[in-house]
Amino acid sequence: MLIPIKISPQALVEIKNIMNSKNIPQDYALRVGIKGGGCGGVSFVLGFDQCREGDQQFSIEGLPVLVEKRHVMFLMGMQVDFHDSNEARGFVFSNPDIPERHDK
């Protein structure tokens, strides 16, 4: 089965740190999904959850990952990275297959 997303080494370290520091139960996995839609587009979300009916399950570097089946097409090719700088700290979603749009 094709894994729709990639998770950078930096993001994996941060996700595992969060799981340990927040005492996320062992039977939970990282849930990657989308919310919204319409004119504003979609937002990408990360969280921890148990497997539900209709989820696709993946393992990325030993990390269990869940994606709702209906979200897979929106996540295909996405990369999750983690940035930690003076200006911002957090997870970033990008898709290298889609060129950046530069409006005039």
What's the CATH class of domain 5-36+43-93?
mainly beta
Burial bucket for residue 29 (CB in 10 Å: 0-12, 13-18, 19+) = buried
Residue ranges with strand state E in 1-104 = 5-7, 29-36, 42-49, 55-60, 63-68, 78-84, 89-94
Q: Is the pLDDT of residue 104 over 50?
A: no
Ordered strands of the 63-68 beta sheet: 42-49, 29-36, 63-68, 55-60
Q: Which residue ranges make up each domain of the chain?
A: 5-36+43-93
Tens-place pLDDT, residues 22-77: 999 999 999 999 997 667 778 999 999 999 999 999 999 999 999 999 999 989 99
